Structures are given as structure tokens and as C-alpha cells.
């Protein structure tokens, strides 16, 4: 076979260069684009077309306040000091958990059932002080503040929700306009930054978003009573509800994965599940096992949302766009199974705080990088299982 050289009159051969950028570069560019978008929008922009706002007077009894939340299908509400006409904080499910802890340490649940009839919301901060629990910061933001600034406030204060306050032009008094939650903010991003989200394709395994199991070198080296899934709090179907309530209060968490003898995730017990028992006045029901308590769970429970370390942050945001998600349980997948792991075994947990903290920053990215032009193919969605 002969070969010939190109003559001076032969057409020049044009080389084609790939327009694709490295995965990390497009990922970082997408993060920068999302942050720039949030700087150009205010909290007003994130308001739903129609919404209702439940505001509770700080002198209201806890029992009535809890009934109000349950009747309106919400888990928190702003507090208002009617004597001073000022914002007085937030009433959340965590307050009820702390109240249960307080009566466990200082009294009895028989007294709790009686006192809760007259116990007022304004006394909840005293309960936290007596338990040595950090008092929630009295934070708020103006609705005209940028969504980026609002997100930074949520991250800096470790808050799950941010009350938005304005001032009455006639009286000068504060006016509670709405409450911006982590979920609402992340859903706003998911709806409006579709192209950028598709570029957030790096796997969770690489980004290390969330809290992950720090296993010992060998299971045989574990000491008696040592949690093999440290630092994640776990429970089994035989654990009592009250033991889990301890975890909620002492760790400041809102959900605990329920695992079997192999560490496979079978369910999730949340603070709202405890409220179901308290609403019925069944304080003694806290001695029930998790298995027994789950039988009283509402039938409309959406199920446990799980994912693997191979899923991407973009995939998580796509899921948030479709359904209300507050946390995802990371389990071992096929990749871990090939290395001797157990498919479905607990690997980590990702909260909305973790997702927001990563998307907003600080993250070591080059902000001079322009967002990529062509969208990438979306990854598959995390698995959703209903226990």
C-alpha cells in the first residue's frame, strides 16, 4: 500500500476539536450560574402564587398551638408578641420534642398531660435553657433581600426556615409577610435553573455532601455497644419511641433511619411521627416500639427516599422539583456490593441543609468560568421506596 504526501494545492485538512469541557469545569460553572441567579432575585420571587400564613400569639397554649398546626397541615409557624407588636420567633416540632424531654427529666407524663393544657408558647425558651439546648436564633430577613443573602442567613444560623418581615408604613410595626424554607428555596432553584442543574453531574461520592458512616477498619474491632454507623444515629424496629426522642432532642436532628440486623434501611422515623402520638394525648405511648408506633403512622406517608453515592446533586434537585423531600438516605448500591458491601445498607444521610450549603457555598470554584452552553443528559432519579 502506497502513501502520498499532500500537494501544496491540496485542500487543508480541518481538525475538529471537542467543545466539551471537563466534568468538574462544567459543574463549577453551573454552581456559579445558580449563585448569580439567586443574587438577581428577591425572596418575594420565591413566593408561591397562592399561600396561607399561620401566625400564633406567643401567649397561646401549647396544646391549642399544636392543634392549629395539625389542622392546617403545617409543622411550624411564626410567633407574635401581641403586647409589644413584635415578631417573637418560631414554633416548630422541635419545641414539642424538647417539651417531652423536659417532663422526662423533671416530672412525669401524667403531669405533662395536665400542664400542656395551660403551658404557653412564650415559656418554651425557658424549657430549652433548662435542658441546656441552644436557643434558636431570632433571625428574620426583609422580603426584598436577595435570595442569595437569605440562603446565606439560613446556612450561617443552621436554621431550616427564615421568617420574612416588613414594616407597616403607618405604624412602623413589624409585619410578618411569609416564611422562606430550605425546601421552598431549593425548589425555586430546581424550577428556574434547569440547564444548570443538568450540569451538576458529579457523583455524591466525590462531593461528600451529607453525613456518612465512618466504619472502623474491621467489624471485629468494634467495642460492645459501639455504633457501627457512627456518627449517624440509628434505631431498629425494637427501639422504643422515647429512645428515639432522646436522639432528636440531644442531637438536634429530625429523623432517624430504621435498620435491620444487616444494617439495611427498612424505614425512617421522624419528629412528625412523635407529634401524631402527642396529638392523641398518648404520652404513655412513647414506650411503644418503633414497629408498634409505625402502625399509627398516617397512611399518606410518602415513603423513605433513598439514593446511592453514585447519584448526582443535580439528580437530587430534580427530585426536589417533583415532590416534597426533606432528606435522603444514602445506601450502598451496586458499586459497594461489588466490593463486598450489602446492597441497601446504610451509608449516609443527606438533609436539605447539606444540599443548600453545597449549592450556595463556600465552594472552591472559579467564578470567572462562564456557564456551559449545551445542556447535558439528565441522570436517572434517585430510588423512592415506601416502607
Give pLDDT, residue 108.
Answer: 61
Whole-angstrom distance, CA of residue 112 vs CA of residue 100? 8
Sheet harboring 304-307: ordered strands across? 211-212, 346-351, 327-331, 304-307, 384-385
Helix (H) or strand (E) holding 377, with range, is none
160-199 in b/e form (b: 16+ CB < 10 A) is bbbbbbeeeeeeeebebbbbbbbbbbbbbbbebbeebbbb
* Number of Cβ atoms within 10 Å of the Cβ of 43: 25
Please give, one letter per residue, the 3-state secondary structure of 47-112.
Answer: CCCCCCCCCEECCCEHHHHHHHHHHCCCCEEEEEECCCCEEEEEEEHHHHHHHHHHHHHHCCHHHH
Give pLDDT, residue 373.
Answer: 41
Q: Tell me: the pLDDT tens digits for 285-316?
A: 678 899 998 988 877 787 899 999 999 999 99
Give pLDDT, residue 48.
Answer: 85
Q: What are phi and psi of 102, to 5 degrees?
A: -60, -45
Whole-angstrom distance, CA of residue 82 vs CA of residue 58? 8
Give pLDDT, residue 283.
Answer: 54
Q: 366: which 3 cell numbers?
A: 472559579
Give pLDDT, residue 346.
Answer: 96
Instruction: Choose among 336, 325, 338, 339: nearest CA to 382.
Output: 325
Give pLDDT, residue 93.
Answer: 86
Q: Tell me: the pLDDT tens digits for 106-121?
A: 666 566 556 666 788 9
> Judging by beta carbons within 10 Å of its beta carbon (0-12, 13-18, 19+), is residue 236 exposed, middle or buried?
middle
Instruction: Choose among 111, 23, 30, 71: nearest CA to 279.
Output: 71
Paired strand residues for 312: 203
Give pLDDT, residue 107.
Answer: 63
Give pLDDT, residue 113.
Answer: 57
Each of the 387 residues of the chain gets a pLDDT tens digit; together they read 444 433 334 344 444 434 556 778 899 999 999 999 999 999 999 998 888 899 999 999 988 898 898 888 888 999 999 999 999 999 998 888 888 777 776 666 566 556 666 788 988 888 888 877 777 878 999 999 999 999 999 999 889 999 999 998 888 889 999 999 999 999 999 999 999 999 999 999 899 899 999 875 455 566 666 788 999 999 999 999 989 998 998 888 999 999 999 999 999 999 988 877 776 655 556 788 999 989 888 777 878 999 999 999 999 999 999 998 999 999 998 888 888 889 999 999 999 999 999 999 873 444 433 333 433 334 444 544 444
In this prediction the pTM is 0.82
Amino acid at each position: 500500500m502506497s502513501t502520498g504526501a499532500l500537494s501544496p494545492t491540496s485542500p487543508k485538512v480541518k481538525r475538529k476539536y471537542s467543545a466539551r469541557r471537563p466534568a468538574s469545569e462544567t459543574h463549577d460553572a453551573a454552581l456559579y450560574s445558580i449563585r448569580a441567579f439567586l443574587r438577581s432575585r428577591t425572596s418575594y420571587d420565591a413566593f408561591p402564587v397562592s399561600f396561607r400564613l399561620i401566625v400564633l400569639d406567643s401567649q397561646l397554649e401549647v396544646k391549642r398551638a399544636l392543634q392549629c398546626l395539625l389542622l392546617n397541615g403545617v409543622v411550624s409557624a411564626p410567633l407574635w408578641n401581641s403586647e409589644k407588636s413584635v415578631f417573637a420567633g418560631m414554633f416548630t416540632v422541635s419545641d414539642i420534642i424538647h417539651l417531652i424531654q423536659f417532663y422526662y427529666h423533671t416530672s412525669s407524663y401524667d403531669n405533662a398531660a395536665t400542664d400542656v393544657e395551660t403551658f404557653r408558647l412564650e415559656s418554651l425558651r425557658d424549657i430549652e435553657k433548662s435542658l441546656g439546648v441552644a436557643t434558636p436564633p431570632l433571625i428574620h430577613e426583609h422580603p426584598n433581600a436577595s435570595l442569595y443573602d437569605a440562603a446565606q442567613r439560613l446556612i450561617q444560623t443552621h436554621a431550616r426556615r427564615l421568617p420574612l418581615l416588613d414594616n407597616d408604613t403607618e405604624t412602623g410595626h413589624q409585619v410578618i409577610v411569609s416564611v422562606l424554607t430550605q425546601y421552598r428555596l431549593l425548589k425555586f432553584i430546581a424550577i428556574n435553573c434547569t440547564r444548570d442543574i443538568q450540569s451538576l453531574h458529579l457523583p455524591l461520592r466525590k462531593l461528600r455532601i451529607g453525613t456518612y458512616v465512618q466504619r472502623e477498619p474491621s467489624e471485629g474491632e468494634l467495642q460492645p455497644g459501639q455504633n457501627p454507623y457512627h456518627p449517624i444515629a440509628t434505631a431498629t424496629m425494637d427501639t422504643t419511641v422515647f429512645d428515639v426522642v432522646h436522639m432528636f432532642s440531644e442531637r438536634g436532628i429530625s429523623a432517624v433511619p430504621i435498620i435491620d440486623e444487616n444494617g439495611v434501611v427498612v424505614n425512617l422515623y421522624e419528629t412528625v411521627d412523635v407529634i401524631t402520638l402527642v396529638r392523641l394525648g398518648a404520652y404513655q405511648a412513647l414506650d411503644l416500639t418503633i414497629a408498634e408506633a409505625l402502625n399509627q403512622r398516617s397512611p399518606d406517608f410518602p415513603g423513605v427516599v433513598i439514593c446511592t453515592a453514585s447519584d448526582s446533586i443535580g439528580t437530587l434537585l430534580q427530585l426536589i422539583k417533583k415532590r416534597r423531600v426533606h432528606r435522603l438516605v444514602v445506601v450502598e448500591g451496586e458499586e459497594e456490593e461489588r466490593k463486598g458491601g450489602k446492597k441497601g445498607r446504610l451509608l449516609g444521610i443527606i438533609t436539605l441543609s447539606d444540599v443548600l450549603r453545597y449549592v450556595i457555598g463556600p465552594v472552591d470554584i472559579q467564578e470567572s468560568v462562564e456557564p456551559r452552553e449545551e445542556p447535558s443528559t439528565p441522570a436517572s432519579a434517585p430510588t423512592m421506596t415506601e416502607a
